[in-house]
Structure 1
Amino acid sequence: MPAGRLRHRIDIQARQDVQDPDTGEMVPSWATVWPAVPASIEPLSAREFIAAQATQSQVVARITLRFREGLDASMRIIHKGTVYNIAGLLPDKDSGLEYFTIPVSQGVNQG
């Protein structure tokens, strides 16, 4: 994958539960696992968006990044203050270890 395609910088966050010091209650929060990851963000075209509505009504873009061990669909992606929820991870067709294509939905993910 050419490095020039990966011109965006994203943060990948994972959900974690943190104990509230006052109540002792476990409160969900997000922690950045990988900051400033090089990626490509491509909004879906109108045709792709209509086709995606059949199965994934909220999918608005596709993000491509190099393979990362430990990345999973329970995480979320932040780019310039916009929260993207991961709809799935699609590994490359050759080895499955070069890059991921990630369909994402947009919106606040509180966990």
Structure 2
Amino acid sequence: MQVSAGQLRHKVALQARQETRSDYGEVTLDWTDVASVWAHVAPQSGREYFAAQQVQSEVSTRVTIRYRDDVDATMRVTHRGTTYGIEAVLPDDGSGFDHLTLMCSEVTT
């Protein structure tokens, strides 16, 4: 299955953790944009569940982008003010180099 340019109509940012050191040697981890790419963003499911006596919400989203060799599950995606943690990076089932499907869950802060 090939992904046409018309299907990739959402602009998303791919982010990675970056370690920085202050002048005092203090290490901080922060998210930095790696790339801004066109994607197809499709919510997969939504469910609520009880955990630790609190109602929590989990949203699964599938983000499809053109193939890149620098995307992995330690990264995250931001789209329209929402941040998604990448749970899995799946190559296309044909050549493996056409597109990537990123299985994501919404990150709450």
**TM-score between the two structures when normalised by the length of structure 1:** 0.80
Equivalent residue for 2:53?
none
Equivalent residue for 2:52?
none
Alignment of 1:1-111 (within 5 A): 1-21=3-23, 23-35=24-36, 37-45=37-45, 58=58, 60-108=60-108
Q: Which 4+ stretches in 1 moved above 6 angstroms? A: none
Give the share of equivalent positions with the same residue, in percent.
Answer: 40
| Runs of at least 5 residues in structure 2 that lack an aligned partner in the other structure | 48-56
Structure ranking higher in strand proportion: 2
- CA apart distance, 1:20: 2.2
Tell me if structure 2 keeps the 8 A contact 1:59–1:87. Answer: no
Structure ranking higher in helix proportion: 1
User: Which residue identity lines up with residue 15 of structure 1 in the other structure?
Assistant: R
- CA apart distance, 1:64: 0.5
In structure 2, distance between residues paired with 1:38 and 1:87:
19
Matched position secondary structure for 2:88: coil
Question: How much is the aligned-residue C-alpha RMSD, in angstroms?
Answer: 2.0
| Runs of at least 5 residues in structure 1 that lack an aligned partner in the other structure | 50-56
